[in-house]
Amino acid sequence: MNPSEGRDPPPRKLKLWQQNLDRSLDNQHDLLQSLGKTAYHIAALQEPYIGIGDKTRANSYWRVVYPSRHGMDNKKTRAVTLINTSLPTEAWSQLHFPSTDVVAVELRGEFGTLRIVNIYNDGDNNTTITILR
């Protein structure tokens, strides 16, 4: 049996949500509740709650994509992207980016290829902007 048989194809239209959670667990729980099961396909979060084990919170409807550098240096992760489990894992992949403030993913489908870059931009410096150039 083909592993993709019986699975829904990637949607023709994607719904994205973006929010800064101010590192609050309460804000993150409220967001997960309001996103529901299938209301959105992608949630780009800045300043998510990061708890024990350097992990954020999600529920069974979401796959968490951390920055490529998450856990590799002493910098706090300030961006994560949640991808709804309704999107087949074959339809997306993470792109490497050398920052704990950026999560980049590439989606593939009937629409072609789409890259989504979730950026936390620190108001005190231009480090992320410099790396993007």
pLDDT of 129 above 70: yes
Residues 44-92: tens digit of each pLDDT:
999 999 998 899 999 999 999 999 989 887 678 999 999 999 999 999 9
pTM (2 d.p.) = 0.87
Averaged confidence pLDDT in the chain: 88
Domain ranges of the chain: 16-132
The string of DSSP letters for 59-77 reads -TTEEEE--TTTTTSSSPP
pLDDT cut 70: percent of the chain above it: 90
63 φψ region: left (φ > 0), alpha (ψ -120 to 50), beta (else)? beta
The domain made up of 16-132 has a fold known as Deoxyribonuclease I; Chain A (3.60.10)
Q: What is the mean pLDDT of residues 34-49?
A: 92
